[in-house]
Amino acid sequence: MLFCLAKVFHRHHRKLKILHGLADATLVALAFEGAYQTRLHLDLERIFYLVPPVKALLLGSAALSWPIIALWLKIYDRLEAAHPRVILRDCFRQCALGTVAIVLIEFTLRLDLSRPFLGLLAIYSWVLMCLFRLNAGGLLGWIRKEISAPYYVLVAGVGPRARRLGESLEQASGAGIRLVGFLAADDAPAVREMRLEALYPVYPLAELPRLLEAHIIDEIVFAVDSKRLSGLEDTLLLCDEEGVRTQVAVDFFPHVNSKMYLDRFQNTPLLTFSATPHDEVQLMVKRLLDVALAAAALLLLAPFMLLIGLLIRLTSSGPVIFRQVRCGLNGRRFTFYKFRSMCRDAEELKPTLRHLSQKQTVFKIPNDPRLTPVGRWLRKFSIDEWPQLWNVLKGDMSLVGPRPPVPEEVEQYKRWQRRRLRMRPGLTCLWALEGRDALDFETWMRKDMEYIDSWSLSLDMKILLRTIPRVLTGKGAH
C-alpha cells in the first residue's frame, strides 16, 4: 500500500483500536463478574469471597490488562482481515496472558484467589471475546458509519501511479473514504474522465481554486512523477492557505526495505527512510528489559559462574575469560566476553586450520580440535556465552539480536549483509531456533534480515522462550 494511504487510514485504524479496546474491557468485566458469581454458587469446600475494594481493584486491573496485552501482541492490527482460526488463537493468547497478569497481581498483593475462579475468568473471557470478534464486522461497520463522517479525497495526477492510488481509495470506502476525482496538469493529455470501478471526473489543475470553493475536499494526494514536484509549489501553497490537508505519494523512491516517515529538525521537515526498527519507545522498552533480565540473570548465575571459572582454571592453562573485539551497533567496536573454551594459543592456530572451516566468511569447524574437554561441554550448552550478560548490561549487546561479528568477517560481507549491523547484536536470534551452527552462512544472514524486518517486543519474547529448550538440549551446537 502506498505510503500516503497509511496516513489516510491512520485515523480509521485508531478508531478501530479504540472500539475493540472498549469492547474487550467491557467483555472481560462481564467475564469477571460471571466467573465471580459462578464461583460463589459452586458447592466447594472452600468459601470464596472478595471484599469490595479488592474486587474493584482486580476488576479494574483485568479491564486494563486485556486491551494492553492485545495492543502489545498487535491483535487489533489484524482483526479486520483475520481468519476465524487466527481470531480464536489470538483470543486464547490474550486471555491466557491476561489471567497470568491477574495471578501476578495476586502474588504481589499477597491475595488468595480461588483457582476455579481464575480458570472460569479465562474461559468466560475467551468465549465472550471469540463470539464478539467473530460477529463484530457488521456491528463495527454500523458504528463507524454512525460516528464517522465521509472523508473526501482528490487525487492530483492521471498516470499509472494515480490510477493505482485511486483503486486503493475505492477499496477503502468501508473506512469512510470517498474519491472525488482527479486533477490533471496543464500539459497532461486531455482526459475528462477516468474509469475505475466507477467513473470519476478529471479536472484541470487550474480549476483547483474553484473546486475548493464549490466542493467538500478534505485532502489532496499528489501522485505525480518526481520531476513534476518542483512545479507544484504554488498549488501546495494554495492548499496551505485554504487549510486543505495535502500528501505526496513517494512510492517512486527505490527503497525496498525501508519504512518511510516524516520527521522534523527544528524548522526543517525531513522525509526519513529507515531499514531498521525506529520506534524509540519500543526500543527503550527493549533496552530496559535487557538491563533488568541481564542483571537478574547475572545475580542468579553468579555462584555457578564462579564454579565454572574455577573448573576452567584447574583443567587448562590460560585466562578464564576470553576477550575479543567484535562489531556492535552500526559497526561500533567493543570488547566481547566469553568463558574460554579453547586452548591458550587458539587464535595463533587459526590460520593453520582455516582449510577445515565449513563456512567461507565465518570461521566454524565441527569438532574443533582447539576445544578443551571442559570447553566442548560449555559450547554444547552455550554456557560459554554467559559472560556476555555483562555486555548486555553495558549496552554493547542485547538479549536478542544478530550475533556480533569480528571485524575480519565484516570486511567480507556483501552489501546487503551489512544491514545486520544496524541492529544491536544479541545473545540469540531467529537462526538459533533454526539449527544454530548447522545453518549455512547465507541462511544465517537472511534469518537476521528477517528478524530486523519483523522485529517487535513480542518476537523477542518468543525467541527467548524458544531458545531456552534449544540451549538445554544442546541441539544444533558444534
Cβ(8)–Cβ(165) below 8 Å: no
Report which residue type is found at 71.
Answer: L
Residues in a beta bridge with 152? 178
Tens digit of pLDDT for each residue in 138-193? Answer: 665 555 555 556 788 999 888 888 888 888 888 877 667 889 999 887 666 677 88
**Secondary structure (H, E, C), the chain:** CCHHHHHHCHHHHHHHHHHHHHHHHHHHHHHHHHHHHHHHHCCCCCCCCCCHHHHHHHHHHHHHHHHHHHHHCCCHHHCCCCCHHHHHHHHHHHHHHHHHHHHHHHHHHCCCCCHHHHHHHHHHHHHHHHHHHHCHHHHHHHHHHHHCCCEEEEEECCCHHHHHHHHHHHHHHHHCEEEEEEEECCCCCCCCEEECCCEEEEEEHHHHHHHHHHCCCCEEEECCCHHHHHHHHHHHHHHHHHCCEEEECCCCCCCCCCEEEEEEECCEEEEEEECCCCCHHHHHHHHHHHHHHHHHHHHHHHHHHHHHHHHHHHHCCCCCEEEEEEECHHHCEEEEEEECCECCCHHHHHHHHHHHCCCCCCCCCCCCCCECHHHHHHHHCCHHHCCHHHHHHHCCCEEECCCCCCHHHHCCCCHHHHHHHHCCCEEECHHHHHCHHHCCHHHHHHHHHHHHHCCCHHHHHHHHHHHHHHHHHCCCCC
Q: What is the pLDDT of residue 2?
A: 44
- Dihedral angle computed from the Cα positions of residues 336, 337, 340 and 341, in that order, rounded to the nearest 10 degrees: -70
Please tell me whether the overall predicted TM-score, pTM, comes out greater than 0.85 for this model.
no
Alpha-carbon distance 194 to 468, whole Å?
A: 58
Confidence band of 3 (pLDDT split at 50, 70, 90): very low
Alpha-carbon distance 475 to 40, whole Å?
A: 49
Q: What is the pLDDT of residue 71?
A: 87
- Dihedral angle computed from the Cα positions of residues 465, 470, 476 and 478, in that order, rounded to the nearest 10 degrees: 110
Cβ(205)–Cβ(183) below 8 Å: yes
Alpha-carbon distance 387 to 1, whole Å?
A: 45
Tens digit of pLDDT for each residue in 23-41? Answer: 899 999 999 999 999 998 8
**Cα dist. 214→155, 171, 222, 413 in Å?**
17, 26, 20, 59
Q: Which three cell numbers stand for residue 457?
A: 517486543
Q: Which three cell numbers stand for residue 193?
A: 474522465
pLDDT over 90 percentage in the chain: 32
pLDDT over 70 percentage in the chain: 83
Residue whose grid cell is 546487503: 416
Q: Which three cell numbers stand for residue 478?
A: 558444534
Cβ(94)–Cβ(66) below 8 Å: yes
Q: What are phi and psi of 427, to 5 degrees?
A: -80, -30
Asked whether the predicted pLDDT for residue 255 surpasses 90, the reply is no
Higher pLDDT, 418 or 361: 418
Tens digit of pLDDT for each residue in 376-400? Answer: 888 888 899 999 999 999 999 999 9
Q: What is the pLDDT of residue 477?
A: 57
Confidence band of 7 (pLDDT split at 50, 70, 90): very low
Higher pLDDT, 279 or 329: 329
Alpha-carbon distance 363 to 360, whole Å?
A: 7
Cβ(401)–Cβ(455) below 8 Å: no
End-to-end CA distance of the chain: 44
Confidence band of 323 (pLDDT split at 50, 70, 90): very high
Tens digit of pLDDT for each residue in 297-321? Answer: 999 999 999 999 999 999 888 899 9
Tens digit of pLDDT for each residue in 230-251? Answer: 778 888 888 888 888 888 877 6
Residue 449 contacts by C-beta under 8 Å, 6 or more apart in sequence?
A: 416, 419, 420
**Cα dist. 52→57, 106, 287, 343 in Å?**
9, 15, 39, 66
Alpha-carbon distance 395 to 378, whole Å?
A: 24
Confidence band of 8 (pLDDT split at 50, 70, 90): very low
Mean pLDDT of 263-274: 71
Tens digit of pLDDT for each residue in 394-437? Answer: 999 999 999 999 998 888 888 888 888 888 999 998 887 776 66
Higher pLDDT, 268 or 92: 92
Mean pLDDT of 35-58: 88
Q: What is the pLDDT of residue 474?
A: 62
- Dihedral angle computed from the Cα positions of residues 466, 468, 472 and 476, in that order, rounded to the nearest 10 degrees: 50
Averaged pLDDT of the chain: 83
* Spans of all domains in the chain: 3-143, 150-252, 280-473
Q: What is the pLDDT of residue 317?
A: 86
Confidence band of 4 (pLDDT split at 50, 70, 90): very low
Confidence band of 72 (pLDDT split at 50, 70, 90): confident
Domain at 150-252, CATH from 3.10.270.10, 2.30.140.10, 3.40.50.720, 3.30.1490.20: 3.40.50.720
Q: What is the pLDDT of residue 161?
A: 84
